[in-house]
A and B are shown apart, each in its own frame.
Chain A
Amino acid sequence: RKEVEQDPGPFNVPEGATVAFNCTYSNSASQSFFWYRQDCRKEPKLLMSVYSSGNEDGRFTAQLNRASQYISLLIRDSKLSDSATYLCVVTRGQTSYDKVIFGPGTSLSVIP
């Protein structure tokens, strides 16, 4: 089993749709969680951190469920520019300096 797993995708959704991605992690010692976005073979860019209380940034909402060891990302009112691969990122230890594990990514295509 991979240490970080994501919905395989691809997700093809119409503009304006709401889409949710899930990510599960196996190491219960993991403490830091993030969502990154990667456009086609370009460098990944931090989308948002994920906090236990949940957090929102505009149309994006991230949630963390430590008991079930999963993280989610919700995108509301999808835009064409949201088309990308979304990477779930988990640190293996207790600090954000610890080893970093990227999930395999979920591809999203927003269709006009």
Chain B
Amino acid sequence: EAQVTQNPRYLITVTGKKLTVTCSQNMNHEYMSWYRQDPGLGLRQIYYSMNVEVTDKGDVPEGYKVSRKEKRNFPLILESPSPNQTSLYFCATGTGGVETQYFGPGTRLLVL
């Protein structure tokens, strides 16, 4: 079964404590992307990757890092989380970029 998985699904943490949200896909997709969704602002792209070792900034990359060491995984790293990073995060993957993009179930993050 084609899947995009994210872990954890829910996380409460404190300011400054490094965390990683994992994203994994079993569809051999080249394209992967991270978004955050906030009320009134919609989905905003954080980072995206067109293939292994190829990443680029989206609209809101500040405070985030990513890596793409293998095709199936695209972790999102918050080195020093702050309360303004409280959000709903989605990972997405695709073969042709946006057109065939599949989203993971989302990760709800609360930074205190």
Smallest CB separation, A91 vs chain B (Å):
6
Within 8 Å CB of A45, what residues of B? 103
Contact of B98 among A43, A89, A103 (CB under 8 A): A89
User: Are B43 and A49 in contact, CB atoms less than 8 angstroms apart?
Assistant: no
A interface secondary structure, majority: loop
- Contact A46/B100 with A41-B88, A99-B48, A99-B58 known, Cβ cut-off 8 Å: yes
- CA–CA, A103 to B42, complex, Å? 6
> Which B82-112 residues have C-beta < 8 A from chain A?
88, 90, 96-101, 103-106
Contacts of A87 in B (CB 8 A): 42-43
Complex-state Cα separation, A41 to B106, whole angstroms: 9
In the complex, A44 has a CB within 8 A of chain B: yes
Closest to B44 in A: A102
Contact B42 A104 (CB under 8 A): yes
Among A43, A91, A105, the one with the most B-chain Cβ atoms within 10 Å of its Cβ is: A43
The 9 closest A-B pairs by CB, nearest first: A96-B97, A43-B103, A102-B43, A97-B97, A104-B42, A96-B98, A102-B42, A96-B99, A100-B98
* Seed contacts A43-B106, A44-B90, A87-B43; 12 additional CB < 8 Å A-B pairs: A43-B103, A44-B43, A46-B100, A46-B101, A87-B42, A91-B98, A96-B99, A98-B97, A100-B33, A100-B45, A100-B98, A102-B44
